[in-house]
Structure 1
């Protein structure tokens, strides 16, 4: 069978490149293994399909045995620890929740992540992709949390704000479900290309620059060590293997967290952060000593014994729907989440395409992709009912984890999801995670957001990244994704402005002072909030420019999906993507959500 090697952008390489595929190109890959990890070599066969030359240990349908599957599944989830647990540690305190609330939300997130991953790998795209609380939801969640009607509330308002957030997530998830299962997503695919996906996802990571290091600076000696360790493990020690596993690259986040936490514990026990007359549990307003006022911030942020989450958590707790109360629905917040659901769908499109090139025989069909987006909407609806504070979607970091671990087995991810559900029922696990000091959370988030930015931009490898057309589009998208929200965030703010919001959360309180002021308060809220979200601006600029500025398919890097009719004749494709338990027969009459 005749095959033609593809360049990294997904287009056919020239004849010289094809002929020398085992020459200079191979030597470059040998000198730089990470290129092989992240850029699987693809070929075009004479039937028009895209195939690949795999470097994976286990591919999609491989099942090497219960013990290896269990180990690889646990490894997969542990390597993505930061993505799974960090968002609740940010949004619950922002809602006024206490340590117990944080622990309960963490347990709920773990439970929903395991449940939705099982559903997605069985009835969604069927790719080995972990579902969880995406960072795409974080900025809009913080914007809703800092809505004007919530800023003046007193006391613990966690449940009140959570119910409002749940209502918005449920409506946005229902919209995403319709988008997927109606087939509209298949129509939108023609407008979504790597040049659109790259700046949109990169803007998600860049949008939190005002939160990251300012929070690290509250205890710089701990936060800086955390960042430094993760960087050393993931970059300088990335090629060190133990028993065939690159432990430092795969476990950079949990290893850095463990070592830094141990260091902070030793410093706390040694009395470095003990000041006479100061108690971290006493609010600053009740402290009379000027000496203590000067050190109270370091006491609160540097000590590791200020959280009571572990001690107050029960050994067993079962997360259940509507555990915070009946969701509250407001159309202005719901509309924001509907737009955000489109952004999460764009994110998932890039993840589906990249992961399929790593683990599957062919990219999915538009119908399979729509089915995956539809199920993500349903699983986000579950997240809204259970009250995780965010929707559930495919985590962008999946592609990096699969490429590094070379583990693409669907069974391994499913077994790991089962383990995650069991762990979520142990209340002490949530309490332990909720005990992570805030400065260490901020340090890990700095690394995670930087990774998210890089993973977003890596989608440009499917296009001609050196094209002046693409450079200008991506550059404009990223610049305006930061500049336009900055205008909305700074509008009406003066030194005398008194907003009851911490400085690092001011960018998310734009609804109370934005420039758009029509005669309808709800419309003002919707537009001011929406246009203050960097990923929304990046998506709008990129999708308009990429679909109006002339460019060839090769230059734009248009995603290539398998055709449904031809895919049905390929046994390997059918086994990769067809629904189990003969469920596929239900969808066979609806071509846009079937194989």
Structure 2
């Protein structure tokens, strides 16, 4: 996550911060490396945990707030609707809740789980159905406030039900250990179109936001390029404190870690100056005072709760459409688990940790749907990169970060601050973010033979055909007429979801068209995943539950459950074989 997730400089971070070879470490075992300040099981002092947790929070907040800028207009919400800040607060609150569950009882890696753009593609396809078409902006403005709330809340309930039900598939996939049998079909030529099309499909939204003031948008992506690509090796001197040695000067990779936030701050200040001097006329989309009423109307404290927008509704078309986002996130998260373990100097995650992580991510998406965030959850690649930069892989730090997110989700006015970011700045960010998502998907092609005409055919067709089909479907929304209205809606959503069409086309062609394992990149890909079904059941293992392990080890039936730390993959097969022979 897929992804999911926004990959500014992540590949460089992972390459530059790969753990060093440890003498005496063999067969894939990983010990504490000299370049890791805090390992996965280490507990830094509480005051350091707070500051390091703040880094994780600031790293993910840019990606989180980008989602409502696309979601809210699709829900038929006005730009000045104060409920936009409540949706952001709900997203951040759920992010904190699921991150804590994942780090504590899930895969137990220090990863942040949060909203993902991968769910926006099927969301827009669902809301593009004729039944969910928005009234004109003039009609919305003329409506009483209560009627406007009913309009967007009805759509949110539809999304909430679709997200929650579709995520049950990922929950089942993880907790029941199905992932091992499915991985052989999830190849680089499946991942590339699935993830790349997430970014490519959303270019209309980037163009719409950036075109409101191209000068501000251009300044945004120019600064973002300078900070993330040109100044990423430049460190800033900062004052730090270490017990025993006191205060000292350390060098902090500010531009590599926070290029998005620095860019937003600078461009927001420029917009503020141009607003104060009336260079931007009244009502201009780049003015900083355009939506200031949102902060005034937002409550100081508001606790999000399940069903806050109404009872979720479920439709077959919505569930099947959202399933595309769930599959994309599953594929992306799988690739992050072994990467995060290496960066934390932890042992490779065994199969039970992988299964439990995916199951917990599915549970998180179910909860996100029920809470009404309008989105699902996925592993944040930015925070994986932050571990490599800071050399802090402590699980406790991410648990503190989860606490900060929950707190921020309760303080309503903090969520409202992000809504008033001028739209051209958001458009400039989209130009980079969506492009990087596409590039991250295409990076999976490094494992395949790009000199193979077979592979080039699959890549080209699985990327181009979904764009053609989905664009045609959006223009001819009523073209499908089977006589069954429910079936028409299902086909409309499925054929309008580019990541689903691209993933299915790539998967089918790669598994049906003849090709060698080397040509398809399967050998290199399986080595990258490192999903061996190993089990370590010693006391104090990294992937054990924090409580109850002595009791779990005494219960022999837990050895058959794919998500338990005591899981032994061959035990169930052996038991079944013995019963068959007897």
Provide the TM-score with structure 1 as the length reference: 0.80
- Map of 1:21 onto structure 2: none
Displacement of 1:435 after TM fit? 1.3
Tell me the distance in 1 between the aligned counterparts of 2:465 and 2:19.
Answer: 32
User: Are the structure 2 counterparts of residues 392 and 273 from structure 1 closer, same or farther at C-alpha, using a change threshold of 3 Å?
Assistant: same
Displacement of 1:309 after TM fit? 0.9
- Map of 1:36 onto structure 2: 15
- Map of 1:561 onto structure 2: 530
SS at match of 1:105: helix
User: Are the structure 2 counterparts of residues 70 and 423 from structure 1 closer, same or farther at C-alpha, using a change threshold of 3 Å?
Assistant: same
SS at match of 2:337: helix
SS at match of 2:301: coil
Tell me the distance in 1 between the aligned counterparts of 2:42 and 2:445.
Answer: 30
Correspondence 1:411 to 2:377: no
2:308 corresponds, among 323, 329, 346, to 323
User: Are the structure 2 counterparts of residues 356 and 393 from structure 1 closer, same or farther at C-alpha, using a change threshold of 3 Å?
Assistant: same
Displacement of 1:143 after TM fit? 2.0
Q: Which moved more, 1:32-41 or 1:369-378?
A: 32-41
Which structure 2 residues correspond to residues 134-173 of structure 1 after superposition, within 5 A? 134-151=116-133, 153=135, 155=140, 156=148, 157-173=151-167
Q: Which moved more, 1:60-69 or 1:40-49?
A: 40-49
Which structure 2 residues correspond to residues 254-333 of structure 1 after superposition, within 5 A? 254-274=261-281, 280=283, 299=284, 301-307=285-291, 308-333=293-318
List alignment gaps of at least 5 residues for structure 1: 1-31, 281-298, 493-511
Which structure 2 residues correspond to residues 434-583 of structure 1 after superposition, within 5 A? 434-461=419-446, 463-464=447-448, 466=450, 468=452, 470-490=455-475, 492=476, 512-513=477-478, 515-548=479-512, 549-552=514-517, 555-556=521-522, 557-559=524-526, 560-564=529-533, 566-568=534-536, 575-582=541-548
1:235 corresponds, among 207, 229, 232, to 229
SS at match of 2:502: helix
- Map of 1:49 onto structure 2: 28
Contact 1:80 1:401 in 2 (8 A): no
Correspondence 1:335 to 2:320: yes
Displacement of 1:578 after TM fit? 1.8
List alignment gaps of at least 5 residues for structure 2: 1-10, 141-147, 237-249, 566-582
Correspondence 1:75 to 2:55: yes
Tell me the distance in 2 between the aligned counterparts of 1:252 and 1:567.
Answer: 40
Tell me the distance in 2 between the aligned counterparts of 1:467 and 1:408.
Answer: 39
Correspondence 1:123 to 2:89: no
Tell me the distance in 1 between the aligned counterparts of 2:14 and 2:336.
Answer: 18
Contact 1:43 1:50 in 2 (8 A): no
User: Are the structure 2 counterparts of residues 264 and 152 from structure 1 closer, same or farther at C-alpha, using a change threshold of 3 Å?
Assistant: closer
SS at match of 1:326: coil
Displacement of 1:422 after TM fit? 1.0
Q: Deviations over 1:492-538 (max 9, x none)?
A: 3xxxxxxxxxxxxxxxxxxx33x443222222222222222222122
Which structure 2 residues correspond to residues 81-120 of structure 1 after superposition, within 5 A? 81-98=61-78, 99-120=81-102
User: Are the structure 2 counterparts of residues 475 and 70 from structure 1 closer, same or farther at C-alpha, using a change threshold of 3 Å?
Assistant: farther
User: Are the structure 2 counterparts of residues 524 and 479 from structure 1 closer, same or farther at C-alpha, using a change threshold of 3 Å?
Assistant: same
User: Are the structure 2 counterparts of residues 522 and 340 from structure 1 closer, same or farther at C-alpha, using a change threshold of 3 Å?
Assistant: farther
Contact 2:121 2:325 in 1 (8 A): no
Displacement of 1:151 after TM fit? 1.6
SS at match of 1:144: helix
- Map of 1:590 onto structure 2: 560
Q: Deviations over 1:103-137 (max 9, x none)?
A: 10011111000000000111211111111111110
User: Are the structure 2 counterparts of residues 305 and 521 from structure 1 closer, same or farther at C-alpha, using a change threshold of 3 Å?
Assistant: same
User: Are the structure 2 counterparts of residues 54 and 196 from structure 1 closer, same or farther at C-alpha, using a change threshold of 3 Å?
Assistant: farther
Q: Deviations over 1:342-379 (max 9, x none)?
A: 22211211222332332253332233212111111111
Tell me the distance in 2 between the aligned counterparts of 1:132 and 1:375.
Answer: 12
Q: Deviations over 1:309-332 (max 9, x none)?
A: 111112111111111111122222
Displacement of 1:91 after TM fit? 0.9
Displacement of 1:263 after TM fit? 0.5
Tell me the distance in 1 between the aligned counterparts of 2:77 and 2:343.
Answer: 41
Contact 1:219 1:302 in 2 (8 A): yes
Q: Deviations over 1:153-203 (max 9, x none)?
A: 564211111111111111112222122222222321222234432332222
Displacement of 1:60 after TM fit? 2.0
SS at match of 2:525: coil
- Map of 2:334 onto structure 1: 349
Contact 1:485 1:533 in 2 (8 A): yes
Contact 2:321 2:497 in 1 (8 A): no
Q: Deviations over 1:227-248 (max 9, x none)?
A: 1111111011111101322101
Contact 2:318 2:493 in 1 (8 A): no
Contact 2:60 2:380 in 1 (8 A): no
Displacement of 1:340 after TM fit? 2.7
Displacement of 1:471 after TM fit? 4.9
CA RMSD, 1 decimal: 2.8
Q: Which moved more, 1:180-189 or 1:49-58?
A: 49-58
